[in-house]
Amino acid sequence: MLAIAAAVAMLAITPERASAQYGGIIPRHCGMSAGYETYGPLTVGSVVVLAMHTPWAGDANWTPEMNGFVGRTARVTQLAGVDTAGCPGVRVDADGGQYFWRIRDAQIAGGFAMDIPRGCDMSAAQYGPIGPGTMVMLGMHAPWRGDANWAAEMNAWVGRMARVTSLEGVDGVGCPVVRVDVDGGQHYWRVRDMQLAGTSMPMGVGAALPRWCGMTDASTSYGPIVPGAVIVLGRHSPWNGDTNWAVEMERYVGVRARVTQLSGIDTMGCPGVRVDVDGGQFFWRLRDVGF
């Protein structure tokens, strides 16, 4: 009898208990049953950035009228259960509670923008929290399989804030791309190299920054750093006697800078970036930067 009671107790999961299992992570899946849905860290009063719904089993649960709210910051007014695809959703103040917003496509406002897809080789584009109207910080494209899909004229827009105007599918190597307002929609911008505007590094993120070298092209790790991240530049410390340093870099030590490109590794296998303050001239090792 005790075993049966324990089993029943395990099955009696409330939405609150289920949400606790996800801690600070917003659930990104559907197929949930009403009454057993999970909301992760979201509660009534949470502030989120609204995003266009991505299809689940072909169902996007979307109306054109919702486009006007994409990229807007909104406060959750109701945990609204699940839709017909079992996707949990909320209602918010920005639209007067009119629409059901799937939480799998939302982001916590001011959170860390790691939900933007950073991969390519896609046959169907995935945009995460990005949709028409989303405000982003543009970054220089890092090559994927040797293809950067980049034009020299795009350099002028790196580090600029822009509003996404259209989702354009994938480019020749399967990287999701968008068009934006600041260049008049002229260029394709890969979402993997941009950051949501207004996001910042969370407390303690420096501990996750790779402080070692000896990496290969296949194993390069940037930790939490993405194009658009703001860092404090530091003087390179030697790795096996090699500092990869130029005296011209001294003037930038201690300066706050915005990352414009994830630049691979140097000859010692140290991952590095290029930044805005020096016009992208120098390679800055991640192991020596701060926040």
pLDDT in tens, 156-183: 787 677 888 889 999 999 999 999 988 9
Local confidence band at 14 (pLDDT 50, 70, 90 cut-offs): very low
Look at residues 51, 63, 34, 153 and name the one whose alpha carbon lies nearest to residue 102.
51
Based on the domain organization, do 21 and 100 belong to the same domain? yes
* Highest mean predicted confidence (pLDDT) among 10-24, 66-80, 193-207: 66-80
Residue 162: per-residue pLDDT: 83
| DSSP codes, 174-213 | S-EEEEETTTTT-S-EEGGG-EETT--PPTTGGGGS----
73, 108, 143 — which closes off a domain? 108
Which of 201-205, 255-259, 263-267 has the highest average model confidence (pLDDT)? 263-267
Q: How many beta carbons lie within 10 A of that of residue 103, not counting itself?
A: 25
Which of the residue ranges 75-84, 190-199, 210-219 would you say has the lowest mean pLDDT? 190-199
Q: Would 129 be classed as within a structural domain? A: no
Of 196, 228, 246, the residue at which a domain comes to its end is 196
- State how many domains the chain has: 3
DSSP 3-state percent helix, strand, coil across the chain (nearest 5) = 15, 25, 60
Contact 83, 116 (CB under 8 A): no
The amino acid that residue 213 corresponds to is C
Once rounded to an integer, what is the mean pLDDT over residues 131-140?
Answer: 79
Q: Which of 64, 92, 108 is the last residue of a domain?
A: 108
Joined tokens for residue 253: 């030590």
> Cα–Cα distance between 39 and 46 in angstroms, integer?
11
Residue 116 lies in a domain: no
Domain shared by 232 and 278, yes or no: yes
d(CA 219, CA 201): 23
Residues 251 and 158 in one domain: no
Please check whether residue 244 is in contact with residue 285, taking contact to mean a CB–CB distance below 8 angstroms: yes
> Per-residue confidence at 110, pLDDT binned at 50, 70, 90?
low
For residue 210, the enclosing domain spans 205-288
> Does 156 lie in the same domain as 215?
no
Q: Is the pLDDT of residue 204 over 50?
A: no
Q: What is the pLDDT of residue 291?
A: 65
The pLDDT score that the predictor gives to residue 1 is 44
Question: Is 0.85 surpassed by the pTM of this model?
Answer: no
Residue 74 lies in a domain: yes
Do 209 and 184 share a structural domain?
A: no
